[in-house]
Amino acid sequence: MLNNIGLPGLLLIAVVVLVLFGRGKISSLMGEVGKGITAFKKGVKEETAEIEKNAEAADVATPEKDKV
């Protein structure tokens, strides 16, 4: 069913959504989506930095064995 939508169908859906909700409501919704994506990326970046920090601390804390 959804495989046959195509460009004209998507444009029609976009026009109907625009008429139903109005430009202001859609733009505020997209702004909130953008803020959510930004917050998600920031959280992932902070968590990655914390994991790397913990991994570096673990490497420093465990001495390497002598290789023969």
Q: Which residues of the chain have pLDDT under 50?
A: none
**pLDDT of res. 38:** 96
pTM of the model: 0.55
> d(Cα 56, Cα 35) in Å, to the nearest integer?
32
Q: DSSP readout, the chain? A: -GGG-HHHHHHHHHHHHHHHHHHHHHHHHHHHHHHHHHHHHHHHHHHHHHHHHHHHHHHHHSPPPPP-
- Six token digits for residue 41: 């990326």
CA distance 34 to 32: 5
Would you list the domain boundaries of the chain?
Answer: 23-58
- For residue 43, the model assigns a pLDDT of 94
